[in-house]
């Protein structure tokens, strides 16, 4: 292993990322709320020497019950349970800056980092939609810009809390009866627009210092936030050219923010549908499409596009007069991606739903293991990706197939590790340095 190395993240979701996956004979429709399902997935991913596991999240019920498996285990809870069932793999939980308080969330990630021996990661999201807002005393979602302003202040406070103990604050002098050195404790005493947090944190500094910071918003505000804070970025990209643009943009933003661009990893999502021949892969994809309930897809699309119920016709095109991204207060970049995909490929609403059914806007790719490995190598070597967010259409079988058939090819090409290094933290695995404590950074003279 000498050349630049790929990073692979396993995005675990229910019985798979395809919305109809639960209807396949092989799928357990209760799996998404059973620990054993995730233990099995985590062990498959660890067998494939993946960098990390990832769980999405929102503090609301995402869909009605008729459509598909609803509800979930809270991600930090589930990943804590998985920490004890695995040894190496990173554990990335999504949590919202809009609907948490910095003190509580900073403690929880610090605790997971300790319990897992330095394997915690945080996918920082601002949470679109009024459904979540209404679970926290608000009538509607705060404006997009305000959500990102709050996210930035949240990060500033959380970073101070994680640094509020110096690494060597514990003295443990039994004879003198002195356990720790209070001069190495730095309460943030933060008073800002959204938060007042005196501190210090009640958890010592953790193996990684703090969790790996991951981000997944691609709007202008989202990119600016990523350039400043994120060490890894998840993104939905439909074309090589689009992914290259995004990659170049984020790297140059990081550089402009005074950071080493290599310390910001870009990971587009891919929904691989594997077959031992192309025809088999296509058939697997068609089988999934045949199980889509299109009426549900219409509801969800109207929701994403912020259209009144009943606007869309299944066999017609999208309306021509959709508002620009700037008028959308929800998930801005996902909105644009979906509209552009429909326009570019002249899709009817039905076809669009079929395309989104697999990965909600992520690149779906049906093919042989060789073809999938080729696609990954191309994006990786042509400036579109530092690695991938692997989003199997069906779980566990799709992850198992990827580990059995694609990972060995990536290894054979020298692109991916063949085993885990001993006792690596998640940040080390992504090739990133352990962060210095901000209270110890020498003042520039």
DSSP per residue, 313-332: -TTSPPPTTPPPGGG--S-H
Could you tell me the sign of the dihedral formed by the alpha carbons of 270, 384, 323, 339, in that order? negative
| 26: contact with its own copies by CB under 8 A | no
Among 222, 354, 359, 392, binds ligand FMN (CB under 6 A): 222
| 365: contact with ligand FMN by CB under 6 A | no
Residue burial 114-131, b: 16+ Cβ < 10 Å; e: rest: bebbbbbbbbbbbbbbee
Q: Pick the stretch among 165-173, 297-305, 338-346, 397-405 that binds its own copies (CB under 8 A).
A: 165-173
Q: How far is the CB of 232 from ligand FMN (least distance, A)?
A: 11
Residue 170's binding partner out of its own copies, ligand FMN, none, with CB under 5 to 8 Å set by partner kind = its own copies
Q: Which is nearer to its own copies, 70 or 255 (CB)?
A: 70
| 12: contact with ligand FMN by CB under 6 A | no
Q: How far is the CB of 69 from its own copies (least distance, A)?
A: 6
Q: Which is nearer to its own copies, 84 or 277 (CB)?
A: 84
| 395: contact with its own copies by CB under 8 A | no
Consecutive H or E run containing 381: helix 369-381
Q: Binding site: residue ranges?
A: 57, 94, 144, 148, 218-219
Q: How far is the CB of 412 from its own copies (least distance, A)?
A: 35
DSSP per residue, 30-75: TGGG-HHHHHHHHHHHHHTT-SEEEE---SS--S-TTTS------H
Residue 331's binding partner out of ligand FMN, its own copies, none, with CB under 5 to 8 Å set by partner kind = ligand FMN
Alpha-helical (H) ranges within 195-290 are: 220-229, 240-256, 278-290
Name, in order, each residue with C-beta under 8 angstroms of 194's C-beta and a sequence gap of 6 or more: 149, 150, 153, 154
Q: Let me know: does 215 contact 231? Beta carbons within 8 Å.
A: no
| 56: contact with its own copies by CB under 8 A | no
Alpha-helical (H) ranges within 291-368 are: 294-304, 332-344, 349-359
Nearest to 15 by CA among 273, 351, 398: 398
| 76: contact with its own copies by CB under 8 A | yes
Residue 333's binding partner out of ligand FMN, its own copies, none, with CB under 5 to 8 Å set by partner kind = ligand FMN
Among 332, 355, 411, 427, binds ligand FMN (CB under 6 A): 332
| 85: contact with its own copies by CB under 8 A | yes
Q: Let me know: does 250 contact 243? Beta carbons within 8 Å.
A: no
Question: Are β-strands 120-125 and 52-55 bridged in parallel, bridged antiparallel, or unpaired?
Answer: unpaired
Q: Binding site for FMN: residue ranges?
A: 57, 94, 144, 148, 218-219
| 314: contact with its own copies by CB under 8 A | no
Angular region, 121: left φ>0, alpha ψ -120 to 50, beta rest:
beta
| 17: contact with ligand FMN by CB under 6 A | no
Q: Pick the stretch among 30-38, 76-84, 210-218, 417-425 that binds ligand FMN (CB under 6 A).
A: 210-218
- Angle, CA 5 vertex, CA 374 and CA 44 arms, to 5°: 75
| 71: contact with its own copies by CB under 8 A | yes
Site for ligand FMN in 106-125 (CB under 6 A): 125
Q: How far is the CB of 125 from ligand FMN (least distance, A)?
A: 4
Name, in order, each residue with C-beta under 8 angstroms of 320's C-beta and a sequence gap of 6 or more: none
Residues at the contact surface with ligand FMN, assessed by CB under 6 A: 56-58, 94, 125-128, 144, 216-219, 221-222, 234-236, 269, 331-334, 389
């Amino acid at each position: 292993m000498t050349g630049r190395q790929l990073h692979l993240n396993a995005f675990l979701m229910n019985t798979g990322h395809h919305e109809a996956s639960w209807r396949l004979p092989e799928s357990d429709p209760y799996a998404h709320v059973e620990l054993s399902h995730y233990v099995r997935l985590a062990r498959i991913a660890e067998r494939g020497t993946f960098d990390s596991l990832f769980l999405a999240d929102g503090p609301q019920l995402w869909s009605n019950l008729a459509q598909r498996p609803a509800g979930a285990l809270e991600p930090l809870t589930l990943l804590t349970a998985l920490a004890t069932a695995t040894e190496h793999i990173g554990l990335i939980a999504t949590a919202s800056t809009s609907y948490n308080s910095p003190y509580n969330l900073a403690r929880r990630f610090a605790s997971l980092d300790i319990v897992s021996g330095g394997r915690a990661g945080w996918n920082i999201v601002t949470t679109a939609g009024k459904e979540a807002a209404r679970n926290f005393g608000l009538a509607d979602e705060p404006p997009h810009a305000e959500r990102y302003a709050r996210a930035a202040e949240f990060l500033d406070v959380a970073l101070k809390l994680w640094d509020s103990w110096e690494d060597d604050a514990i003295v443990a002098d039994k004879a003198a009866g002195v356990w720790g050195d209070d001069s190495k404790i730095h309460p943030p005493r933060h008073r800002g627009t959204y938060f007042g947090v005196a501190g210090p944190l009640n958890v010592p500094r953790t193996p990684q210092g703090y969790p790996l910071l991951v981000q997944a918003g691609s709007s202008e505000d989202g990119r600016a936030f990523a350039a400043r804070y994120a060490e890894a970025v998840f993104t939905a990209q439909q074309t090589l050219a689009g992914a290259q643009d995004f990659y170049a943009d984020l790297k140059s933003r990081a550089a402009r923010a005074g950071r080493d661009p290599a310390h910001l990893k870009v990971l587009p999502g891919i929904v691989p549908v594997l077959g031992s021949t192309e025809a088999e892969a296509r058939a697997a994809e068609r089988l999934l499409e045949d199980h889509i309930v299109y009426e549900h897809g219409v509801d969800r699309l109207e929701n994403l596009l912020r259209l009144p119920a009943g606007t869309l016709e299944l066999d017609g095109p999208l309306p021509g007069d959709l508002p620009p991204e700037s008028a959308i207060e929800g998930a801005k970049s996902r909105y644009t991606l979906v509209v552009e995909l429909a326009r570019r490929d002249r899709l009817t609403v039905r076809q669009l739903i079929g395309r989104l059914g697999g990965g909600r806007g992520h690149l779906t790719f049906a093919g042989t293991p060789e073809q999938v490995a080729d696609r990954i190598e191309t994006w990786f070597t042509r400036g579109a990706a530092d690695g991938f967010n692997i989003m199997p259409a069906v779980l566990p079988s799709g992850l198992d197939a990827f580990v059995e058939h694609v990972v060995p090819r990536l290894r054979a090409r020298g692109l991916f590790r063949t085993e885990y290094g001993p006792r690596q933290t998640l940040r080390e695995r992504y090739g990133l340095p352990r962060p210095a404590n901000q209270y110890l950074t020498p003042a520039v003279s």
